[in-house]
């Protein structure tokens, strides 16, 4: 449902804007982004409600960032009340942590004698917390977009979550696994304030 809202909102913004920048066209027409709700406060009063469409994760310096597009509506700002806007190719900081304690358990595989280690828990990603983004000429201080993904033993997503948990603190290695996880999450629906699988 939130993907439909994001598509409708983006379409409305594009129709009112009259044209699409090459960056926005790439973001909208290239690989599918993961759309999650995001809110923020307008500097000087008012608020922002919208959708963050995450295209990919990258490294800037020593920081993990999300390359994304933001689209939404300005609320309670005289002269801009209900105005919609979009901003493409923004980079927002990403904080990645274990959402639940990581527990390890061994599982014996019969005569093979190989004992793999499996993890349980979840990864918590907070994207854009405190970032200031210019949307339609107003400065918006973003609240974090939150994504929680659980590690279900034996699933591809669970395996990726375990890898992410093992790479926290190594941004260069982490982004590759985050991008693989992103590709798996794109097809999922039912995103609320956060994603918990």
pLDDT tens across 33-47, in order?
A: 999 999 999 999 999
Structural domains of the chain, count: 1
Residue 26 lies in a domain: yes
Per residue in 48-77, pLDDT (tens digit) is 999 999 999 999 999 999 999 999 999 998
Residue 11 lies in a domain: yes
Per residue in 79-108, pLDDT (tens digit) is 888 888 899 889 999 999 887 544 443 344
Residue 190 lies in a domain: no
Domain with 74, as residue range(s), is 2-185
Residue 38 lies in a domain: yes
Within a 10 A sphere around the Cβ of 73, how many other Cβ atoms?
19
Residue 192 lies in a domain: no
Report the half-sphere exposure of 105 (CA within 13 A, side-chain side): 6
The two tokens of residue 84 are 């919609």
The two tokens of residue 138 are 């107003």
Residue 145 lies in a domain: yes
Residue 46 lies in a domain: yes
């Amino acid at each position: 449902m939130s993907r439909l809202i994001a598509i409708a909102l983006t379409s409305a913004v594009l129709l009112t804007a009259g044209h699409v920048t090459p960056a926005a066209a790439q973001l909208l027409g290239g690989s599918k982004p993961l759309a999650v709700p995001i809110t923020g406060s307008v500097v000087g009063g008012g608020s922002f409600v919208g959708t963050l469409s995450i295209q990919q994760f990258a490294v800037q310096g020593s920081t993990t960032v999300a390359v994304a597009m933001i689209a939404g509506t300005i609320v309670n700002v005289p002269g801009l009340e209900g105005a919609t806007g979009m901003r493409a190719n923004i980079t927002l900081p990403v904080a990645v942590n274990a959402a639940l304690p990581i527990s390890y358990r061994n599982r014996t595989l019969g005569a093979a004698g190989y004992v793999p280690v499996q993890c349980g828990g979840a990864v918590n990603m907070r994207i854009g917390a405190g970032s200031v983004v210019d949307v339609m000429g107003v400065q918006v201080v973003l609240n974090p977009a939150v994504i929680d993904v659980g590690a279900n033993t034996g699933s591809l997503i669970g395996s990726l979550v375990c890898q992410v948990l093992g790479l926290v603190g190594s941004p260069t290695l982490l982004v590759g696994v985050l991008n693989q996880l992103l590709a798996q999450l794109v097809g999922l629906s039912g995103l609320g304030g956060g994603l918990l699988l």
